[in-house]
Amino acid sequence: EIVLTQSPGTLSLSPGERATLSCRASQSVSSSYLAWYQQKPGQAPRLLIYGASSRATGIPDRFSGSGSGTDFTLTISRLEPEDFAVYYCQQYGSSPQITFGQGTRLEIK
Amino acid sequence: QVQLVQSGSELKKPGASVKVSCKASGYTFTSYAMNWVRQAPGQGLEWMGWINTNTGNPTYAQGFTGRFVFSLDTSVSTAYLQISSLKAEDTAVYYCARETLGDFDYWGQGTLVTVSS
């Protein structure tokens, strides 16, 4: 089973700052199958990034994804108030097919 | 536009069963797999498995075999999750999610299932 470990668990930043979120896999993950989601309280997750670096429809360009192999990063270039939420990475691959990281909470400092 | 609309919250007693529906619209239902994801209170996302909307063949993740059943009614573009012999630890929000090449591009709004005596 591929385990995804996200760090930090909580990130405290101010609007306008840059956020860097990490997702590390226990085994190599195909870049085609690494995604990032944003979840706000009481809402369903929203797809931000797929294929490690492609933005989903309607996602602002301040969100970017990068990485390969076992190390992946979600970067938010300049935080807007609406960006404070929980972020999850997710991989699709060998059985069990799909796993999520435990999440990073991005909170206002 | 693509929408996944789930059935409403449920309050069930331990040992009972529940069936959650997920009605799809705005796309060809049988062109995309449907997945189910659980989120326990205050916890992260847990993948439960998926169902092939063409064949109806389900695949269950580890920990979701036996009491969990995925099914379809393609005539009304709806996927179902049935959980039997409910336990307190089944209390969670259950999401359906459309899968596109391994990621989930559309999600239902979630259905809260509460198991309490």
Segment B34-73, tens digit of pLDDT: 999 999 999 999 999 999 999 999 999 999 999 999 999 9
Phi, psi of B89 (to 5 degrees): -70, -5
What pLDDT does A95 receive?
58
Helices (H), chain B: none
Residue with token string 């192999």: A69
Residue with token string 């359906």: B96
Contact yes or no for A37 and B104 at CB 8 A: yes
Query: Which SS3 state, helix, strand or coil, does residue A31 take?
Result: helix
CA distance B48 to B53: 16
Q: Burial, B105: exposed, middle or buried (Cβ in 10 Å; 0-12, 13-18, 19+)?
A: middle
* Average pLDDT score over residue span B18-26: 98
Q: Is B27 on the interface with A (CB under 8 A)?
A: no
Identify the residue with better confidence: B106 or B102: B106
User: B33 pairs with which residues across the strands?
Assistant: B99
Question: How near does any CA of chain B get to the CA of A86, in Å?
Answer: 9
Q: Is B60 on the interface with A (CB under 8 A)?
A: no
What pLDDT does A64 receive?
98
DSSP assignment letter at B54: T
Joined tokens for residue B11? 């309050």
Of the listed ranges A2-16, A95-109, B35-49, the least confidently predicted one is A95-109
Contact yes or no for B45 and A100 at CB 8 A: yes
Best of B32, B45, B46 to mutate (most A CBs within 10 Å, chain A): B45
Question: How near does any CA of chain A get to the CA of B16, in Å?
Answer: 26
Of the listed ranges A86-95, B65-74, B96-105, B106-115, the least confidently predicted one is A86-95
Q: What residues contact residue A54 under an 8 Å CB cut-off, 6+ apart?
A: A65
Q: Is A25 on the interface with B (CB under 8 A)?
A: no
Question: How near does any CA of chain B get to the CA of A47, in Å?
Answer: 6
Q: Is B26 left (phi over 0), alpha (psi -120 to 50) or beta?
A: left
Tell me how far CA of residue B28 lies from CA of A56, B3, B74, B80, B107, in angstroms. Answer: 20, 11, 10, 17, 16
**pLDDT, tens digit (0-9, with 9 covering 90-100), for A64-97:** 999 999 999 999 999 999 999 999 999 998 655 8
Query: Which SS3 state, helix, strand or coil, does residue B23 take?
Result: strand
What pLDDT does A94 receive?
64
Exposure letters B76-85 (e unless 16+ CB within 10 A, then b): ebbbbbebee
Q: Are B23 and B81 in contact (CB under 8 A)?
A: no
Q: Are B7 and B21 in contact (CB under 8 A)?
A: yes
Phi, psi of A52 (to 5 degrees): 70, -30
DSSP H helix total and E strand total for chain A? 0, 10
What pLDDT does B101 receive?
84
Q: H or E segment at B111? A: strand B111-115
